[in-house]
Amino acid sequence: MNGLMMNTPLLISSIAEHAAKFHGDREIVSVTGDNPCHRCTIGEAISRAKQLANALGKLGLKQGDRIATIAWNDYRHLEIYYGVSGSGYVCHTINPRLFAEQLIFIINHAEDRFIFVDAMFVPLLEALADKIPNVEGFIVLTDEAHMPETSLRNVLCYETFIGAESSHFDWPELDERTASALCYTSGTTGDPKGVLYDHRSTILHAYASLAPDVMGLSSRDVVLPVVPLFHVNAWGIPYSVLMAGAKLVFPGPKMGDGEALYGLMDSENVTLALGVPTVWLALLQYTEKAGKRLDKLDRSIVGGAAVPRAMIEAFRDKHDVEVRQGWGMTEMSPVGAVNTIKAGLEKLSPDDLLDLATKAGRGLYGCELRIVDDGGNELEWDGQAYGALQVRGPWICSDYFKLEGSAGSHTDDGWFDTGDVAIIDPQGYMTITDRTKDVIKSGGEWISSIELENTAMGHPAVAEAAVIGVAHPKWTERPLLVVVKAEDQDVSKEEMLAFFEGKVATWWVPSDVAFVDELPHTATGKVKKIELRRQFADYQLPD
Ligand code: AMP
């Protein structure tokens, strides 16, 4: 027998309607290429999203067509999120930091019909224009006064495009499984793969994000997403924040600028900030140098890569800011686990609490987790066993766009194989020890490169560290620590290695240290281990 409840579809447009009605006066502050401090309200942004929907309706698009963005975090990008997805088209966010070949591949693979582009990325597209012949036009995200000279064909100015349109628009009643957004994984190997979100998965993920032990979002919050709108929908922030009615502060092109981020946090009273560890490194370096304190910030959600213990400690002890580590993937919308203190653990010593905070987090309701051995057998959550981490749930991809059935990413019983290796402790806290392909196997035993990196990052002279396996005649592989020294700091090889004593098992201590000026990074700011392994392919370890 079925229940007698309404089968109301979960649609992104319903967030727009809710936000305009209940939090229409909440502010959105943006840094943009054409305005260092733009202010509008959620209500105004939703009205403009409807003007955009009306304008898109005149382009001869059909439902499911892909419309791309190459843009920073600001109010216009937010309007596109709602105007495009709400109308039944697919909002394809593109990372401008990808290489030209990857951009060409992605735009052609997605069959993008139009591209919304920030004025500063116009030259990027001009260089590719003859390789993306199917794109029918480009809409530059600015007003007439700031339109750049360009060789691109069929160029429109965003403000003119939407300017004359009505702000009345009846959102279509879509099926909740309708595709809403598309994001390609940065793909360190092979071609990038497209993850196609739908309205239902987006709403469920946003709902889950609001919970106190996830992001704990409320209408009293002021949220600064430094995580880009072009990377996994900025962890769902455009949806969850409009559900909750928090104030939004968008940093635009200032994402990696510690001083600018501090300025925004201070002047706009930001309570919650979200980003990858590299971004916070820049912020913490700035506050240290300038002698500033993050007085207004309450918590920061840090994920996308393991968060170094020293970073969590600096936030906690110097700024009284709670770091919530999160773990997830593009394929998972992205949130799969978040680290908050479980009842009963509050009384741990400050040191033990720090240790706890270095873990990737506990699974949240809606995302099932399991670890399995090479034979696919489920492993105990005993804090010891390492295994391939697999996940299942309504906001996790069931396949990749146009690769249906051929990516080999899912198990026969319907779980997604994340490619991460993890340990889960009896309390449910998970530690990511490696990507499957980054695992270091020494004498048949696994060594966690992430744990070694975190330990190295605790040394004051280390700005960034990465650990890779290099060939060894006896042990097959041994860990090599690659270090970028902090500005004006020095440390010797011997001092660096001595720093590991008592912190990790003796046989885990790296066999050597190499100092470099910088590490190679992916387009999303993660260390590109594949490139690092290539650079050190012939490295000779000392005897
Ligand atoms: P992406 O799809 O680009 O967001 O990358 C997802 C990958 O980032 C995951 O599969 C992990 O390897 C890594 N990752 C994300 N969060 C964490 C974390 N808290 N600790 C360690 N690795 C992480």
Residues of the chain with pLDDT under 50: none
368, 441, 495, 507: which one is catalytic?
A: 441
What is the CATH T-level fold of the domain 12-25+42-198, as seen in this structure? Rossmann fold (3.40.50)
pLDDT, position 188? 55
pLDDT, position 189? 59
Pocket of ligand 1 (CB under 6 A): 185-186, 232, 303-306, 325, 327, 329-330, 334, 360, 418-420, 432, 435, 524
Domain ranges of the chain: 12-25+42-198, 438-543
| Three-class HEC string of 413-444 | CCCEEEEEEEEECCCCEEEEEEEHHHCEEECC
Closest ligand 1 atom to residue 326 Cα is 19
Q: Largest Cα–Cα distance in the chain?
A: 74
Quick check: is 528 catalytic? no
Per the DSSP assignment, residues forming a β-bridge with 297 are none
**Host H or E run for residue 530:** helix 529-535
The CA 147 to ligand 1 mean position distance, Å, reads 37
Q: Is the peptide bond before 350 cis (omega within 30 degrees of 0)?
A: no
The CA 430 to ligand 1 mean position distance, Å, reads 13
pLDDT, position 360? 97
Structure tokens at 339: 């680290």
Quick check: is 451 catalytic? no
Contacts of residue 238, Cβ cutoff 8 Å, sequence gap at least 6: 78, 81, 82, 229
Best of 197, 279, 329 to mutate for ligand 1, by most ligand atoms within 8 A of CB?
Answer: 329
The CA 327 to ligand 1 mean position distance, Å, reads 6
Closest ligand 1 atom to residue 435 Cα is 12
Residue-wise pLDDT for 229-282, tens only, equals: 999 999 999 999 999 999 999 999 999 899 999 999 999 999 999 998 888 988
pLDDT, position 523? 77
Best of 94, 369, 420, 437 to mutate for ligand 1, by most ligand atoms within 8 A of CB?
Answer: 420
Q: How far is CA 380 from CA 360, 387, 393, 409, 428, in A?
A: 18, 10, 21, 23, 11
Quick check: is 526 catalytic? no
pLDDT, position 352? 97
Contacts of residue 103, Cβ cutoff 8 Å, sequence gap at least 6: 94, 124, 128
What is the CATH T-level fold of the domain 438-543, as seen in this structure? GMP Synthetase; Chain A, domain 3 (3.30.300)
Residue 104 contacts residue 80 (beta carbons within 8 Å): no
Best of 235, 312, 327, 395 to mutate for ligand 1, by most ligand atoms within 8 A of CB?
Answer: 327
Closest ligand 1 atom to residue 524 Cα is 3
Give φ, ψ of 436 to 5 degrees: -50, -40
pLDDT, position 173? 97
Closest ligand 1 atom to residue 325 Cα is 19
Q: Taking the complete model, does pTM exceed 0.85, yes or no?
A: yes
Mean pLDDT of the chain: 95
The CA 312 to ligand 1 mean position distance, Å, reads 17
446, 485, 528, 531: which one is catalytic?
A: 446
Residue-wise pLDDT for 304-316, tens only, equals: 888 989 999 999 9
pLDDT, position 187? 59
Task: State whether residue 371 is helix, strand or coil.
Answer: strand
pLDDT, position 474? 83
Closest ligand 1 atom to residue 330 Cα is 2
Quick check: is 278 catalytic? no
pLDDT, position 522? 81
